[in-house]
Structure 1
């Protein structure tokens, strides 16, 4: 029964790797998943979950992902029960090897994103000028992590080291143990701060545990019982092994190129210093009687108006002409806003029809949260 369980788990992980979309590898997985499971997922979401507006994109923590996981689990364990035992050994070997490569690529992706400061990015001005208690926990966590480049780079290096270690057989067990620690921490963060990759991180952790399935008992004997053990590598007698080695090397190489290409193409290896759009920043309304207190220009071309109660209204904008911004709200409504900006006195003028807002630019990068301080002793703090 135990071997059937591990075979079912191996098949599930193979199917999950094939059909759960990783955006940085392109649209092939998403399009394949929609083709194979799109209609079924949509039907289950409507008829069983009673959700008429479900996101059928299989993103983490969405109903479509839960349905996909449920369907893949059924397919996997039914296949494991019907499969002849002589095929189980080869399936377990290749599923374990593929899981290891998958974990290495995912850890490499998130490790490089941290090293280049693209995951924990610098908090936007509208976040910095919001009250701590008014922000959701996930935004708080992301923003606090984004204020420290040192922490981002350090955790990224650890993930990259774990990724490299699990690729090579001599360091694989130690690399997988480090990966388990990394993924346990990530899962706890996602649960504790309600970050919407909870199920994906849980499955990654399950993969790392699965990849160590042959080592858990020897490790227990070595670490707890203090016995001498010899870890053995089991490889099936198969002619497909050279093809697998070539495929693994090609996939890892392709993944490395795909992950690094955006950074090399943009020449951006520190997102904190990446070029921001024109007018990006924070502006304080000089009219004390106005309900609008701040105007924020977000790096993703959003204009955000914050009133005195910290209620925010945002619009996506494009620059229509030299002195015109075209704003669009979430219902599709459009507003044309005249603007002028004087860099010398840092004044921004916005014309909403007959209503004119005069705002002064704020030096948001000088705020305390963004100061690169490191105190060796408490007496040096001021």
Structure 2
């Protein structure tokens, strides 16, 4: 390989030091934080046992954190932020040492390799999150228990998630934008446009995470930082174009191949990398044949039920607000929860299992871990008759299914004018 454009000499020591620091920081961060993948191997199995003891030490002896804290590198944990601090220090010290050992850095070639890595890594993340939206798996249809919770009692993050999940069009639109930006990042001629689009998308994502207190703030910040890293070499050219309406050609090193063999291997590696990214992003949906999670078949008994009859210790309890412990509604969550809403609108979760042969529900209290068994009878009307002892009370219940999908939030109404709304 030879360079089409000579290596630039104008990069001063300060710029090279920042580049080296960023190079080390990005490589360490991407090896210790990653979106779960099924086919592309993750280094976290090997790096976590190395990083986490240092996180624990820094938290205790540098930041003087007295109380126990989550030192594992999970989303927005204290340990994740402490680890980021450690990586910044390591990056600055490593850049200084690197500069001493190798003062004459071939900046052009190594920056080409670095920016290619950043492009492909960021493209992978955008594909993963983008297709997760396109196929309605990230912002899924709100669960029945959320729909029957008063708005003022829903946490901000869940409220945002539910609002997004209620709109199929907007969720898919947002996902397609991320997929489009990711596609642009894969190719040298379009990656600047992809970086600008990704920067806009990720700025909005970070603002949402901050505004709605969603716990992926650190990861979103890093993705935004990566998009800015890709834009940074073009800042001068972009400023001249948008502010002074002048076109400045940004000189970059690109590989030129002296033999067909070297060009073949370059093309093969690039093609395999792109296909591997797409394979990782798409195959999980093909495996389960899920391209619209809203339309996926839910588990048996999933849904919302009104408690039309409630007998406690042989005494019928009417549905009045004064009887705060009477069950008002019951919800069966897709993730295996049996949720009870009482007359005071409080919620209690139970781990839920059912036995069709014995016609029995098993409810494990999520707090006490005590299991309660309820016999059930399914009527032709769809109603369920439950009986058993729950928390020291002999209960006999009748549950009537609610058509929760007809609630106003889930109606996909659309009108160009306000006439139909009034």
TM-score, scaled relative to structure 1:
0.93
Match of 2:275 among 243, 253, 266: 253
Alignment pair present for 1:34 and 2:48: yes
Aligned to 2:8: none
Alignment pair present for 1:162 and 2:197: no
Alignment pair present for 1:85 and 2:122: no
- Deviations 1:293-320, CA, capped at 9 Å, x for gaps: 1100000110000112221100111123
Alignment pair present for 1:54 and 2:74: no
Q: Tell me the CA shift for residue 355 of structure 1.
A: 1.0
What is the alpha-carbon root mean square deviation over aligned residues? 2.3
SS in 1 for 2:233: coil
Alignment pair present for 1:267 and 2:289: yes
Structure-2 separation of matches of 1:231 and 1:85: 25
Alignment pair present for 1:219 and 2:214: no
Structure-2 separation of matches of 1:339 and 1:44: 54
SS in 1 for 2:250: coil
Aligned to 2:32: 19
Q: Tell me the CA shift for residue 43 of structure 1.
A: 3.7
Structure-1 separation of matches of 2:240 and 2:264: 34
Structure whose residues are more often helix by fraction = 1
Aligned to 1:333: 370
SS in 2 for 1:378: coil
Structure-1 separation of matches of 2:263 and 2:112: 10
TM-score, scaled relative to structure 2:
0.84
Q: Tell me the CA shift for residue 246 of structure 1.
A: 5.1
Larger radius of gyration: 2
Instruction: Answer whether contact 1:295 1:304 (CA < 8 A) is retained.
Output: yes
Match of 1:306 among 325, 338, 341: 341
User: Mean Cα displacement is larger for which, 253-262 or 42-51?
Assistant: 42-51
Aligned to 1:202: 221
Aligned to 2:387: 351
Structure-1 separation of matches of 2:255 and 2:270: 16
User: Mean Cα displacement is larger for which, 306-315 or 30-39?
Assistant: 30-39
Match of 2:79 among 40, 61, 64: 64
What 5-or-longer segments of structure 1 have no aligned partner?
A: none
Instruction: Answer whether contact 2:32 2:48 (CA < 8 A) is retained.
Output: no
Q: Tell me the CA shift for residue 241 of structure 1.
A: 9.7
Q: Tell me the CA shift for residue 255 of structure 1.
A: 2.8
Instruction: Answer whether contact 1:45 1:51 (CA < 8 A) is retained.
Output: no
Q: Tell me the CA shift for residue 3 of structure 1.
A: 2.3
Q: Tell me the CA shift for residue 163 of structure 1.
A: 0.6
What 5-or-longer segments of structure 2 have no aligned partner?
A: 1-13, 310-318
Change (3 A) 1:243 1:82: farther
Q: Tell me the CA shift for residue 115 of structure 1.
A: 0.8
Structure-2 separation of matches of 1:15 and 1:241: 30
Change (3 A) 1:82 1:91: farther
Q: Tell me the CA shift for residue 365 of structure 1.
A: 0.3
Match of 1:73 among 74, 88, 96: 88
Alignment pair present for 1:2 and 2:48: no
Change (3 A) 1:75 1:360: same
User: Mean Cα displacement is larger for which, 142-151 or 320-329?
Assistant: 320-329
